[in-house]
Amino acid sequence: MILCGNGRWFRMQRKRASSKDVAREAGVSQATVSYVLNDVKNVKIRPETRKAVLDAVKKLNYHPSHIARGMKSNRSMSVGVITDRRITNYNFMETLEGIRDGLSQSNYSITLLFNKSDDSFNMEILDYYNTNRLDGVIFAFATVDELSREELNQNGVPYVIVDSHVSHARFHEIGTDHLCHLTDLTALFRKRGASRLAYTGPRWKCGTDFRLKAFEQAVQESGLHNLGCFLCPFRDDQIRDTVGEMLRSPERPDGIITGSPRFGFSVLKAAAEMGKRVPEDLMVASLGASAFYHLCHPAMTAVELPLYEMGRRSAAYLMDLLNDRPVEDTIILPSEIVMRASL
């Protein structure tokens, strides 16, 4: 702090630390600092030297300029995150937080793109990549059809898909085992006395939601009667009509699994309007996470996904692709059934 002539105190702005400052603090060359921070594999760095550099980075609060690093490596230092969801969607925002934290470790920034689900959007992604504005893309809850995958592969675009429900070949994907958690969930419905199970959820613009096949297989294995899958677009009026049709059908379900929290809340509302008690007359459980499950009445049982971890792992996966490190075709992360009053 310094005192000016008018009697006011001002805080002096500290000079931002440079790689030269880090080198001086650690007692090494700037080249060594660069080797450590860029994790250069073909240069052998002694463990004590690496520790000295990292300690100096922490002490000086040094942050490498991602722009400067991009110029040196001919990279944009930006990753495109593509989604079908609204920016306020809970699943997307939790996943995006994981992506952000994962990319920040490599000094990458995020360019957010909203999926238009048409051919022009594929060209837009390729244009971003070919003009060096993106180094790769992460599809976070976005519909990716077979044609899009082929175009990305043919043009050499590094990409990762986060838990796509619509997939023709599970490749470059971070996801969960839908059959496993649906099998566990249907077993819980049976244990609590349900006999007629139905599924309701979104109808995607392209491809087939493979959770439907997982649902059908899980119900068959459980011995419950499958009343079918009731699907519609993500519009509140159509969700309301679809749920109402399902609950008014001649062979009404006594158990419902919904493909998203939004459908789950609609089922609870419709059941209340029709005088059905949950879970006494109708048991309900939902797939996917929400911050509001415990606030609805009754509180919703749900299969909750490891959203933050899926985002963080997708960022690490993309960094492996960008640095030519070996990757698995698919990484499956465990989900968790959180029991609440609706089941």
Provide the pLDDT for residue 197: 96
Lowest mean pLDDT among 66-80, 141-155, 194-208: 66-80
Position 298 scores a pLDDT of 95
Does pLDDT of 205 surpass 70?
Answer: no
Summarize the confidence of residues 156-178 as an average pLDDT: 77
Give the mean pLDDT of 151-166: 79
Q: Does residue 120 surpass a pLDDT of 70?
A: no
In this predicted structure, the answer to whether residue 341 has a pLDDT above a threshold of 60 is yes
pLDDT of residue 168: 47
pLDDT of 160 over the 90 cut:
yes
pLDDT for residue 29: 82
Q: What angle do CA 154, 157, 159 make, to 5 degrees?
A: 120
pLDDT number for residue 176: 87
- From the list 233, 251, 250, the residue with the least C-alpha distance to 242 is 233
Asked if pLDDT for residue 302 goes beyond 50, the answer is yes
Least reliable range by pLDDT among 130-139, 157-166, 184-193, 251-260:
157-166
In the prediction, which pLDDT does 1 show?
Answer: 40
Max mean pLDDT among 122-136, 148-162, 310-324 falls in 310-324
Q: 204 pLDDT band (50/70/90 cuts)?
A: low
How does pLDDT run across 227-280, given as a tens digit for each residue?
A: 999 988 877 888 888 888 888 888 889 999 998 888 999 999 999 999 999 999
pLDDT of amino acid 224: 95
Set out the domains of the chain in order of their start, with CATH numbers.
Answer: 2-60 (1.10.260.40), 75-176+307-335 (3.40.50.2300), 178-304 (3.40.50.2300)
Q: What is the pTM of this model?
A: 0.73
Average pLDDT, integer, range 137-156? 80
Residue 225: its pLDDT value, please? 95
pLDDT at 6: 43
pLDDT value, residue 7: 45
Please give the pLDDT value at position 5: 42
Q: What is the mean pLDDT of residues 87-116?
A: 88
pLDDT digits (tens, 9 = 90+) for 32-85: 887 787 666 656 788 899 899 899 988 888 866 544 455 445 688 899 998 877
Q: What is the pLDDT of residue 8?
A: 42
Residue 207 is predicted with a pLDDT of 46
Q: Confidence band (pLDDT; 50, 70, 90) for 148?
A: confident
Residue 265: phi and psi, rounded to 5, are -65, -35
**Whole-number percent of the chain with pLDDT over 70:** 84
pLDDT of residue 286: 95
Residues 171-196 have a mean pLDDT of 92
Q: Averaged over 107-129, what is the pLDDT?
A: 75
